[in-house]
Structure 1
C-alpha cells in the first residue's frame, strides 16, 4: 500500500497541490468487485481544503486517474456498521449515501480515524460518527489534544518522531541563515514545514536497497540487472524532482543532490566497464564456432550475443540520458569490436564462396566450346576469337559465354549444371547476409535506443496509435553510421565476388541481376532506408553494369565475325546462340522484378542479329545470299514463335517475312537453271508484249516464230527435264544445312513454282501461238513424278 500511496501522491495529488494523508482500498457494496481507492487529502495552500477523493485504475490498467471528489464539509455521517466486531463495510453520507466494503478492517479503521481527526481539526460542523468504536477515536487523538490541533498544520496528525542527526543539522543550518528563526518562531515553523515537504514522500530519498544496487549490484545475473534497472530509474526520478524557487539552497537538498551525483558516476563507471567486458567475452565465444560455419557456407548467428546484451538495454537508455559521453564511448567500443569480428567472419565466408564458385569452372575439362557452326567454320577477329584455342581454361570459359560459342552449348549438360550451382551459391550468399544485417540493425536500434520506425508490435500495443516518440534524424544517421562501420567490408566483398562470377562466365550476370534485384526489392519492402537496402542497391548498380557489358560483348563479337570462303555458312553461331541465350534468360527471368532490363537487352541483341545476318549473307561466296537469309531468319522465326517473347513480336513477324521472301527468291532463281533456254525464250516473248507487240503477232517476230519455239521445246524432253531437276536437287542439298531441315520445304516450293511456270508457259503458247498445236514434251503429271522420285532417291 505504501508504494501505491507514493504513486498516487506523485501522479495525482502533487500536480494539484494536495497531500495524501490516508488511503483505503474499497469496492461498492453489493456489486461486482471493481476496486478503487478512497483518499483523504488536504491542500498545501491555505486556506486548507479537505477532501475525500475516489481514484481508480484506467481501463488499460497502466495508470491511475481521479474519478470523483467530495468536500469533507459536505460529509454528514460516517457509519462503521458495527463497533464491536470486525467488519470491513462502512457508509459515507454525502448528498447521498455511498456504501463501501474495504479490503480489510484495519484499512477501514485507519481511514475513518483520519477522517475523524481532519473533522476535528478543520470543520466547525462536526461529522456524525455512527457505530465507531470510541476506543478507536480516543487512540486517534489522545485526551486533551483535540482542541490543541485545531489551528495547527496537518503534520500534527502524524505521531511524533524524534529528529535524526541529519534533520537536526539541517534545522540548525536553517536557523543560522534565517534571521527570524528565534524572534518569529511561528513564521520560521511555517517555512520549515514547507521546506520539509520537499523531502517528504520519498521524492528525494533513495532507499538503501537502491543505493546498494547502484554501488555493488550484480550486473551479470538477471535478478541483479533488474535490481540495477529499478535503482537507476529511481535515481533518475530523484535527480529530476522539480524544486520550487529557493529549495535548491537547502542543505538537505544539496546533500541529496551530491549523493545522487556520486551514485550516478559510480554506477555509470561500473556499467561501462562491465559492458566493455561483455563485448569482448561474448565475441570470443562467438568466434570459436567460425570454422564450422565456413565449411557449410553459412555465417555465424549473433543472436546469443544480442539476446544477452539486450538485458542491458534499459541501462543503456539510462546511460544515454544521464552520461551521454560514456554512452557514446560504449557505442564506439561496440562498433570497433564488432567491426573486427564481422570483418573476419565475412572475409572467411566470402573466401569459401569464391572457392566454391571457382570449383564450378574447374570441373569442366578441355575446350568444350569451339567456334564452329553446325556445318561450317567461322573465325573471329585476330584480337579475340583466334586466341581462344590457346587460352587457359578459365579464360576459355569466359569466352564461352558469347553468342558465338552458343551453337554447341546445348550439348553441354555440365555447363548447365555449373551455372545452376553458381546460382545456388550466389543465392546462399545473399540469403546469409540478409538476416545478418537486419538482425544487427534491429539490435543496434534496440540496445542503443535509436528508434528507427514503429514496429508491428509497437503499433499493436498502442491500439493503432502511432507511438509518441518518433525517430529523430540524428538517430537515423547514427544507426546508419554504425552499420556502415560494422559492415564496411560487405559491399567490397560482394563486388569482388560478382567480378569473379563474371570472369568465370559472363552469363552469370543474368543470374546475379535477378537474384540481387529480388533481394533489393525484399529489403526495400522491409525498410527502404536500412543499411541492407542501401548496400544491396549499390551493388545492384554493379551487377546491372556487368549485365549491360555482357550484352554489349555479344553484339561486339557478332560484328567481328568473318566467314570462311571454303565452307557453306548454315545457321550462324550467333543465331543459334541467341536461341540458347533466350531460352536461358527466360528460365532465369521467370517472374523476375527486373524483366524490363531483359526486354531491352532482347531488342538490342535481335537487331544486332538481324543486321549481322544481312552482313554475312552479303559477304558469302560459297553459299547463296538467299540461302543464308532464308535459313537464318527461318531459325529466328522458329525461335521467337516457340519462346513467345512479347517484346519481340514485331521482330518475329519481320523474321517470317524475310524468310518467306528469300525462300521464294531462291526457288525462282534456282528453277531458271534446269530450263534455262526455255526460260530465256519466254522472257523474250513477254518483253515483246511489254513493248507493245500484240500477243497473236509475236509469232511473226523472227527470233520468236513457231519454228524457234519448237526448236527450244525439243531441247527439253522429259528425260532432260528430270536430269536437270536431279542436278538442281543436288545443288540445293549442297547449299542447305542439315540442322534447319529446309530441303524438303524448298523442294516442295520448287515443285509448286515449276508447276506455276509450266502453266504460265502453256498460257503464253496458247495466246501467242494460237492453233499451232505446239505443246511441251512433258506434262504436269510427269513433273510431279519427277519431283517425287528425285526426293525419294536421295
Structure 2
C-alpha cells in the first residue's frame, strides 16, 4: 500500500500540485476484470478544492488519470451497509456511478474521508445514506462543537503555528497560574488607560494655540483688503483716461483703412476696366487674313474677356463710369469678329483630290486643314463663352465644313463599287480589303477625334460639368466621350451602313465568310487596343464593336443553320451500302476551313463553342440512324471510326472529349456488329449452348444438364455432326464475303473487323469446349475441328483475299 501511495503521489499528483488523502481499489459493479483506483485529492494552494480522481494502470504499470470530478458536484453517497456489510457503494454526480470495493476497510476509510471533506469544504451539502458509522461520527462531532465552528475552521499556516508556539513559550510560567495571569493583564490595561487620558489632556493646549493663530491670520487678511481698495480708488481716473485714448486711436485707424481701400478700388477699376486702342480696333475690324492679325484678334479677345470677367462690387454698379465701360465692352463683344469668322469658313470649302484617293482605298489626310484650323481654337472658345448663340452657329458651321471634306465617304465612285464586287468573289481578297479599310480608318478617326476635342474644347466642357468635389476618374468613359461620338457620327454618317452592307455581301457570297470577317474584326480590335502609339478612337471603337456583334450574330446563324440541314440529310434508305454520311463530310469541311481561318487568330472562344456544338449535333444525328431499317451498327462503326481518326489528325483541344466519345462508340458498335454476325457460321450450335448456359443459370447442376431431353448427349452429337470442318470453313468464307460487302473500302476496316471476328470466334469455341468438359464429362464428345484448324481457316481466308 505504501508503495502504491508513493507511486501515485510521485507520478500523478505531485506534478499537478495535488495532495493525496485516500485511495480505494474498485471496479464497476458486474465488471470485475476492469480494476481502477479512486483517489481523493486536494489542491496544495489556496483556495483548496477537493476532487475525486479515477486512476488506471496500463500494461507498463504506468498510472494515468482516466476521469476527474469536483466534490462540489457530488450530491449523494449511498454506502449500502445499513443492515449488513457490503462492498458496493454508489456516488451520485450528474449520473450515478456504481462501484464495488476490493476490501471493506478501504471502503470505510474512503467514505469517512468523503464525510470529513463534506463538513470541512462543502458545508455538509452532500447527503450520506446507508452509512451508520459516518452518522455516529457526525453526532459525536456535533456535541463537541457547533456546525458554525466546523465550517469556519481552517488549518493554521506554518507561520501562524510558529507564532503561537513562541507566544506560549513566552507566557508559559504565567499561563500555569491563570489567576496571576489575569491580574497581570488587568494591571497592564489600567496603565494603558491612564496614558491615553494624559495624551488627550495634553492635546487641548495645542488646539487652543491653533485657534489663536487662525484669528491672527483673518485680521491680517482684512488689513490687506482695505489697502487694495484704496489703491483701486486711486487708479479709477487713470482707467477712464486710457479708455478715451483707445477710442481715438481706433477712429484714426479706421479712417486710414478706408482711404487705402478706396485708392485700391480706384486703381482696380482704372486698370482692369480699360481696353487699349489696338485691341478695340482688332475687335471692330475682325481681320483674319494673316497669322499676325489672327494673333492680334486672339489677344484682343483675351483682353476683352478679362475686362468682362471682372467682378464688380454691388456698390459700384450705380457708378455712371462703370456702366458706360460695361456698355462699351458689350458693343465690342457684338462686333464683326463673328461675321469674319463665318466668312472664313465659307471661303475655305475646296476639297482637292479626295475622290481620287478614295478610289484607291486610301483615306485622305486632313492634317493641313487641322493645322490651319487649330490656330482659331481660342477664338472658338471666346465666341462660345461670350455669346452662346454665336458659339452654336459657329459649331454647326464647322460641322458643315467638316462634312463637306468627307463627302467622299457618302458618294463612292463606280470604280470602287466594281472593284468591290470583283474582290468579294474570293474570301482572301475580301479579308485583305477589310483589313485595309480598318487600317485606314484607325488613324483617320483618331486624328479627327483629337481635332474635334481640341477645337471644340469638349474635354474642357466635360471637366466643367463635373463637380469640383468629385475626383476626375469618377465619370464613366462613355459619358465623357458622348459629345465627341455624336459629332463623329454626324461626320462619318455613312461609315457604319457601308460596313454593314459589306458584311451582308460577304454572307451572301459564301456561307462561311462570316468566319473570316469575325477573325479580321477581332484582330483589328485587339491590335487597336494594344497599340502603344495612341489611344484608340472612342467612335471607331463603338463602330467596330457594333460590327463585331453583327459578325458574331452572323456566325451564330451559320452554326444554327448547319444542324437544320443535317436533320434533313438523316434519311438513309433500306438498301444503303454504308460509307461516310454527308453531314460527317460537311463537318470535316467546316472544321478544316475554320481551323485554316482561325490559325492566325488571337482568340478562338466562339469557334471552340461552335465546334463542340456541331460535333454534338453530328453524334446526335448518327444516333437517329438506329431508328431506320439499315445496318446501323456497321454505319455507326464506320462513321465514328472516321470521326475519331479525323479528330486525332487535327488535335483540337476543345474536341478532346468528343474524340474519346467517338472512340468509345466505335468500339461499342464494332462489338455489336461482331456479335450480330458471329453466330451465323455455327448458328444451331450457338443456340444449343445458349440453352445449356440458360439451364445452368436457372440453378440446374452442370452434371445434370445432360439428363434433360433437349440437351442430352444424343442431341449434342446431332448438332455437332451438322458442322464438320469443311462446313465451318465454307461458313467462314461466306461471312468474310458478307463483311467485305458491307464495309466501306475507304475506311479500311476489313482487317480490323476480321481480326476481331477471329478472336471472338476462338473465344466462343473455347467456351463451347469448356461447357462440353463440364456438363458432358466422360462422354467423349468433341467437335469435328480443333483450335489449330480454326487458325488455319482464318489465315487461308485472309491470304486468299489479299
**Alignment TM-score, normalising by the size of structure 1:** 0.60
Inter-partner Cα distance in structure 2 for 1:637 and 1:341 = 59
Q: Residue 695 of structure 1: CA displacement?
A: 2.7
Q: Residue 661 of structure 1: CA displacement?
A: 0.8
Equivalent residue for 2:697? 690
Q: 1:265/1:493 Cα in 2 relative to 1: closer, same or farther (>3 Å)? A: same
Equivalent residue for 1:791? 798
Inter-partner Cα distance in structure 2 for 1:600 and 1:356 = 35
Inter-partner Cα distance in structure 2 for 1:422 and 1:620 = 47
Q: 1:357/1:609 Cα in 2 relative to 1: closer, same or farther (>3 Å)? A: farther
2:297 to 217, 222, 228: 228
Question: Contact (CA 8 Å) 1:528, 1:534: kept in 2 or not?
Answer: no
1:495 to 495, 500, 519: 500
Instruction: For residue 506 of structure 1, give the secondary structure of its aligned residue in structure 2.
Output: coil
Inter-partner Cα distance in structure 1 for 2:641 and 2:461 = 58
Question: Contact (CA 8 Å) 1:268, 1:319: kept in 2 or not?
Answer: no
Q: Residue 565 of structure 1: CA displacement?
A: 4.3
Equivalent residue for 2:220? none
Equivalent residue for 2:412? 348
1:293 to 358, 379, 396: 358
2:398 to 322, 325, 334: 334
Q: 1:665/1:340 Cα in 2 relative to 1: closer, same or farther (>3 Å)? A: farther
Q: Residue 427 of structure 1: CA displacement?
A: 3.0
The structure carrying a bigger helix percent of its residues is 2
Inter-partner Cα distance in structure 1 for 2:332 and 2:475 = 31
Question: Contact (CA 8 Å) 1:551, 1:601: kept in 2 or not?
Answer: yes
Question: Contact (CA 8 Å) 1:452, 1:471: kept in 2 or not?
Answer: no
Inter-partner Cα distance in structure 2 for 1:474 and 1:266 = 36
1:552 to 535, 553, 560: 560
Equivalent residue for 2:772? 765
Question: Contact (CA 8 Å) 1:451, 1:475: kept in 2 or not?
Answer: yes
Coordinate RMSD, CA, aligned? 3.9
Q: 1:608/1:347 Cα in 2 relative to 1: closer, same or farther (>3 Å)? A: farther
Inter-partner Cα distance in structure 1 for 2:266 and 2:385 = 29
Question: Relative contact order (C-alpha < 8 Å, sep 6+): which is higher?
Answer: 1
1:585 to 594, 601, 609: 594
Equivalent residue for 2:551? 543
Question: Contact (CA 8 Å) 1:268, 1:326: kept in 2 or not?
Answer: no
Equivalent residue for 1:508? 513
Question: Contact (CA 8 Å) 2:342, 2:397: kept in 1 or not?
Answer: no
1:656 to 652, 663, 684: 663
Inter-partner Cα distance in structure 2 for 1:717 and 1:480 = 92
Inter-partner Cα distance in structure 2 for 1:473 and 1:689 = 81
Q: Residue 630 of structure 1: CA displacement?
A: 1.2
Q: 1:510/1:355 Cα in 2 relative to 1: closer, same or farther (>3 Å)? A: farther
Answer yes or no: is 1:205 the counterpart of 2:274.
Answer: yes
Question: Contact (CA 8 Å) 2:286, 2:336: kept in 1 or not?
Answer: no
Equivalent residue for 1:608? 617
Deviation per CA, 1:56-82: give whole Å up to 9, x if none.
xxxxxxxxxxxxxxxxxxxxxxxxxxx
Instruction: For residue 451 of structure 1, give the secondary structure of its aligned residue in structure 2.
Output: helix
Instruction: For residue 628 of structure 1, give the secondary structure of its aligned residue in structure 2.
Output: helix
Equivalent residue for 2:738? 731
Equivalent residue for 2:93? none
Q: Residue 771 of structure 1: CA displacement?
A: 3.0
Answer yes or no: is 1:478 the counterpart of 2:548.
Answer: no
Inter-partner Cα distance in structure 2 for 1:330 and 1:627 = 80
Inter-partner Cα distance in structure 1 for 2:699 and 2:574 = 46
1:191-340 matched pairs, under 5 angstroms = 197-198=267-268, 200-201=270-271, 203-216=272-285, 219-245=288-314, 247=316, 253-277=322-346, 280-281=349-350, 284-285=351-352, 288-295=353-360, 297-339=361-403
Give 5+ residue unaligned stretches, structure 2: 1-252, 464-469
Inter-partner Cα distance in structure 1 for 2:768 and 2:605 = 55
2:455 to 447, 451, 458: 447
Once the two structures are overlaid, the 10-residue window that deviates more, 269-278 or 726-735, is 269-278
2:642 to 635, 646, 659: 635
Q: May I ask how many residue pairs the two structures share in their alignment?
A: 539
Equivalent residue for 1:359? 422
Instruction: For residue 673 of structure 1, give the secondary structure of its aligned residue in structure 2.
Output: coil
Inter-partner Cα distance in structure 2 for 1:469 and 1:317 = 26
Instruction: For residue 484 of structure 1, give the secondary structure of its aligned residue in structure 2.
Output: helix
Instruction: For residue 406 of structure 2, give the secondary structure of its aligned residue in structure 1.
Output: helix
Once the two structures are overlaid, the 10-residue window that deviates more, 639-648 or 302-311, is 639-648
Instruction: For residue 771 of structure 1, give the secondary structure of its aligned residue in structure 2.
Output: coil
Deviation per CA, 1:17-48: give whole Å up to 9, x if none.
xxxxxxxxxxxxxxxxxxxxxxxxxxx99637
Q: 1:682/1:557 Cα in 2 relative to 1: closer, same or farther (>3 Å)? A: same
Once the two structures are overlaid, the 10-residue window that deviates more, 309-318 or 329-338, is 329-338
Q: 1:693/1:244 Cα in 2 relative to 1: closer, same or farther (>3 Å)? A: closer
Instruction: For residue 430 of structure 2, give the secondary structure of its aligned residue in structure 1.
Output: helix
Inter-partner Cα distance in structure 2 for 1:791 and 1:713 = 26
Equivalent residue for 2:442? 434
Inter-partner Cα distance in structure 2 for 1:241 and 1:651 = 79
Instruction: For residue 727 of structure 1, give the secondary structure of its aligned residue in structure 2.
Output: helix
Q: Residue 743 of structure 1: CA displacement?
A: 2.1
Inter-partner Cα distance in structure 2 for 1:672 and 1:490 = 72
Q: Residue 500 of structure 1: CA displacement?
A: 1.4
Inter-partner Cα distance in structure 1 for 2:658 and 2:410 = 47
